Structure 1
Amino acid sequence: MDSLSVPQPQPQPRRRRHFSREFKAQVVAACLKPGVSVSRIALDNQLNANLLRRWIREAEQAGQTTTSPAFMPLALPAASTSAAPGRDRPADRHGHIRIEVPRAGGPVVVEWPAEQAHQCLALLRELLR
């Protein structure tokens, strides 16, 4: 009995995908936003998270990333030494540390007594880890 043979199609070799510099820059910029998951950005763009982290590292080494500082310096009004009778002295009103962090749902405000600045510093260090 003769068998009919059909040639099997040759599998196509996998080709590497190539991405434009603009696309890489756009995805890296999205990853640098506060509170964003690099893995989520990678999944949304059908990328491997390790590849995306490499792009971020390369952009940082090339100086192409712009990161905003964790804290913005605030200019506080100068405290006057003389207070009008019956009014709070400026030192009383400014005897605390106030940190305001903008968030999508509204700002997060932390107020701390200035006398306990070292405890505030410890809290901030712990939060920024």
Structure 2
Amino acid sequence: MNNVSATKPYQKRRRFSPEFKADIVAECLEPGASVSRISLENGLNTNMVRRWINEARRAPKRSGFVSVALPAATSAPSNQSVPDKRSTIRIEIPRAGGSVVVEWPAEQAHQCAALLRDLLG
């Protein structure tokens, strides 16, 4: 009698970056999102994703504001001494631990664009 045995090859434990985990958690926290569906779509174990969600909720919250050093402003005309909301660029990026908010003077939009290219590039 011939006995045939097959062993499952050793699978190395997968590691996920904090950014990937944060993206999955953020997607799961959207209103109406199904943790099971999101897990299956990404080839993940649902229990593991639920653990990531619990860990994210227990993590200390950060303010979400980024301090950015701006070059010295040129002298503005006296009628524009106080900038209004329309002359400010505001970018809010939602993250699992809180939003990142960047506010930038509209007259320096090219510098804001350069910062975003550096961050995203």
The TM-score normalised by the length of structure 1 is 0.41
Return the structure number with greater helix share: 2
For the pair shown, the structure with the greater C-alpha radius of gyration is: 1
- Highest RCO, 1 vs 2 (Cα 8 Å, sep ≥ 6): 2
